[in-house]
Amino acid sequence: MSDAENYRELLRNWLTRTTRAQELHYKAAHGASSKNYIVGIVGIVGGIAVALNGLYCAELKEIVPVIGGVVAAIATAAQMVFNWGNQAEAHKATAVQMGQIRRTIETALSSSNVLSHQSADVIREQINLVLPSAPRIPFDFYEESN
């Protein structure tokens, strides 16, 4: 196998990995964003229950605001602790970067030029710049997709 064929095979492997990483990061972003919205809606409902205190029947007038306040506090704390909104944005940003690298690899593979170690090194540097700051993809995403 010639060097050009070796580099082409290397780029095909990287193309598979970057495509997979892009898909998983978009999936992780969607999951974190969904959790953030659902917990946010629960918190809003709890807050509304507190705000509408005077509209309940007499039997519920004391208990509903307490339960609503506790639900709102727990939902707010969960959003702050788990930081799903920021996680979603970080996963989206990484997915976009992986998409850019994927397109660079596709361009290199479709080119009629002979691939060299310089072209592979440029792509390797791009990948190495993205990976250290990339958020961790949950393990269950790997298992679901296999």
The token pair at 30 is 């969607």
Measured CA distances, 50 to 34, 53, 80 (Å): 25, 5, 21
Give percent of the chain above pLDDT 90. 62
The pLDDT value given to residue 98 = 98
The token pair at 140 is 């269950």
Q: What angle do CA 107, 112, 113 make, to 5 degrees?
A: 90
Inform me whether the pLDDT recorded for 140 exceeds 80. yes
pLDDT in tens, 44-70: 998 888 888 766 666 777 787 888 889
Inform me whether the pLDDT recorded for 125 exceeds 90. yes
Q: What element of type H or E holds 107?
A: helix 84-110
In whole angstroms, how large is the CA radius of gyration of the chain? Answer: 24
Mean pLDDT of the chain: 89
Mean pLDDT across 68-76 = 91
pLDDT in tens, 6-44: 888 999 999 999 999 999 999 999 999 999 999 999 999
Mean pLDDT across 112-125 = 84
The pLDDT value given to residue 85 = 95
The pLDDT value given to residue 67 = 86
Mean pLDDT across 127-142 = 90
Contact of 32 with 91, CB cutoff 8 Å: yes
